[in-house]
Amino acid sequence: MTGIIPRPSIAAGLVATLVLSGTIVPSALGQRVQVRAVEAESRRPVVGAIVRLVDSAGRAVAQGLTTESGRVSLGAAGPGRFRLRADRIGHEGLWSDPFELVDSVSLELVMPLDRVVLPELAVRGSSSCVIRADGQETAALWEEIRKALAAGEITSSGQGVELSVRRYLRFRTTDGRLRTDSTLRLQLTRASPFVSPPPDLLAREGYIREPVEGSFQFHAPDLPTLLSPGFLETHCFEVTRPPRDAPHLIGLGFRPTKEVKRPDIRGTLWVDRESHELRFLEFSFARAPASVAAPGIGGRIDFRRLDSGDWIVADWYIRVPDRVVIERQQRSRLNRRDSLAGYIDEGGTARPVGDATVAMGEVVTRLRTGPVVSGDVRGRVVGPDRTPIPGAEVAIAEVDTVLTTDVAGRFELRELPAGRLRLRIRAVGFVPMAVAMSLGEGRRLVDTTVVMARAAQLLDSVVVTAKTPTFEAGKMADVERRRRAGFGRFLTREVLHDPLQGGLDNQLRRFSRMRMAPLCGGRGFAPASATRGTPPVKVRCPPNIELNDCFMAVYLDGALYWSPDMGGVVQPPDFATFVPSRFEAIEVYRSAAETPIEFAGPIAGCGVVLLWTRVG
């Protein structure tokens, strides 16, 4: 049975459930209430229950989440009459009897076993702002979502969980394929890693703002925004069908009301029907300005419940258009048009510090199946003693990506193509490794731990006889083979480790007679073809400037690091920032004709530079 209820009715009902999640008054070192929450009948501790201390005026003066032992400690600034409110995802809430708080006290809450029944779907078309299910059932679904959001706020405000955060920038093609993945920053934090502007600012100016003419800022909703009364009052809600490959989900869709004229968002909050836990939010930008409007712009926020009962935002990104101005000469006038070159994802991942997978042997891979749309690979790089290795470089040839592990030794790649993948892992002081794995229908998530062996520090990999360097066995053997073939130019350790020879860009100019072309804004240099041939894709600089240099492809320890066909989304690496002493050898091939067959191909048309890191 389907009931149609006007939007104001459901908004009022939803706000009523939020009366206890207002401003929390900080408590001094006064009275404390020690609470223990247990299940009825079994008497087992309840983990992750939201417990609030509410005064006689109906204000929540303290709140917290119960631990694995079912306990939480709440403080009050002074004596008074209070009640406890306890909420648990998937179950009915509970009010305690009023009690007088004069001194610290210990109380036990017996949580009911009654499960909340989530609504069944009954779809009905409508163009007005209505609820596509019974209003009470929709409010019940929101109540389960609100519990998870509130638990996330309590976790971040309490700063009880230390997170290892990686912020990234990902460039995609127009059809969504991943091109590059760059780490912007690694950090440790106990605060929320993902914060939006205040809800009232978003309500006034919208989710796409233009603080300076021609410069746009895109925003996603954080926990305070989703919990704010203004968000509920300006959006219509409806129960949404799950994706075909995830029938276990149920969604609460939302869209801005007709009264909202500013840029806003529409999307769906997805809940696991069995556990009642919030899984993720998918959203798209609505009413975007014409200059930045594009299909597919939006984002996603993934939520995760920890074993401790805490909730965190585990993954998030905002997808914005990557536009370019194309100029074409048509007869006597220049025609300029704006074109979508692809997409840029700016986001991050957050993982609890010490949240490691079990490692046994050289490489341990745990395969899982689940309702994910595309394949993901995540892992952890550790030493022989299982100590995390931060800053290790992980190269994935299939997606032309090189990323670094965070402070906990972790890395993560999402939305990878199905098939066989090759990971090359390199870290200073450790023996480089290559790991092969595959993704497919039965293997959509690969969780791996890579154990790296320490390199022998006393091994000298270069032996100099007269003026001719000879590379010994190992990865340098192929370098020596190519040098003896007589093609290309080579820089060896003897030159690279000489501090009097200057930076890597200067050494390549001096010893290889290589042309170093300036990058965007003259900030840095990268090797380019001396013949100034036409690159397959020109490097673009903001706002709409193109570089005409034919930059060389760059390989790092045999894995593709940058290629000319990536010039439309990311510029070449700045060789002025490379430390020469970190490299064992460098090979330079200034044309496709010189390039060895194993590195030949369309991307070698402007030449190839091979960088080999030191091994001893």
**pLDDT tens digits, residue range 552-581?**
888 887 877 778 877 666 778 888 778 788
What count of Cα atoms within 13 Å lies in the side-chain half-sphere of residue 534? 1
Return the H-helix or E-strand segment holding 189: strand 178-189
Q: Predicted confidence band at 191 (pLDDT cuts at 50, 70, 90)?
A: confident
Are 9 and 16 in contact, with CB atoms under 8 Å apart?
Answer: no
Confidence at residue 540, expressed as pLDDT on a 0 to 100 scale: 75
Q: Predicted confidence band at 491 (pLDDT cuts at 50, 70, 90)?
A: confident
Are 314 and 304 in contact, with CB atoms under 8 Å apart?
Answer: yes
The letter for the amino acid at 96 is S
- List domains and CATH numbers for the chain: 31-115 (2.60.40.1120), 136-352 (no CATH), 363-451 (2.60.40.1120), 462-613 (2.170.130.10)
Confidence at residue 181, expressed as pLDDT on a 0 to 100 scale: 73
Q: Which of 450, 397, 380, 453 is nearest to 615 (CA)?
A: 453
User: Facing residues of 541 across strands?
Assistant: 545
Average pLDDT of the segment spanning 192-203:
88
User: b/e per residue, 94-114, with b = 16+ CB within 10 A?
Assistant: bebeeeebeeeeeeebbbeee
Return the H-helix or E-strand segment holding 179: strand 178-189
The letter for the amino acid at 322 is D
Average pLDDT of the segment spanning 529-539:
70
Mapping DSSP onto H, E and C, the string for 281-319 reads EEEEEECCCCCCCCCCCEEEEEEEECCCCCEEEEEEEEE
Return the H-helix or E-strand segment holding 74: strand 71-75
Confidence at residue 95, expressed as pLDDT on a 0 to 100 scale: 92
Average pLDDT of the segment spanning 239-255:
89
Lowest mean pLDDT among 151-155, 180-184, 499-503, 553-557: 499-503
Distance CA(517)–CA(576), nearest Å, equals 11
Lowest mean pLDDT among 14-28, 94-108, 321-335: 14-28
Mean of the per-residue pLDDT values of the chain: 76
For 315-374, write each residue's pLDDT tens digit: 999 999 886 544 444 454 544 445 677 888 989 999 888 653 322 222 333 323 333 335
Distance CA(31)–CA(77), nearest Å, equals 7
Distance CA(236)–CA(239), nearest Å, equals 11
Statement: residue 251 has pLDDT above 70: yes
Confidence at residue 224, expressed as pLDDT on a 0 to 100 scale: 92
For 136-163, write each residue's pLDDT tens digit: 667 788 889 999 999 999 998 888 888 8
pTM to 2 decimals? 0.56
User: Which residues are within 8 A (CB) of 304 and not within 5 positions of it... i.e. 6 or more apart?
Assistant: 311, 312, 313, 314
Confidence at residue 287, expressed as pLDDT on a 0 to 100 scale: 93
More confident residue, 222 or 410: 222
List own/partner pairs for 197-206 with CB under 8 A and 24 or more apart: 198/224, 199/224, 199/225, 199/228, 199/230, 199/231, 200/230, 203/230, 203/234, 204/262, 205/262, 206/262, 206/263, 206/264, 206/287
For 371-406, write each residue's pLDDT tens digit: 333 567 778 888 888 888 887 878 776 665 667 787
Percent of the chain with pLDDT over 70: 75
Statement: residue 541 has pLDDT above 80: no
Are 401 and 180 in contact, with CB atoms under 8 Å apart?
Answer: yes
CA angle 488, 493, 494 (to 5 degrees): 100
Distance CA(88)–CA(519), nearest Å, equals 55
Structure-token pair, residue 380: 């952890």
Confidence at residue 519, expressed as pLDDT on a 0 to 100 scale: 83
Beta strands in 207-310 (DSSP E): 208-212, 215-218, 235-240, 249-256, 264-272, 278-286, 298-305
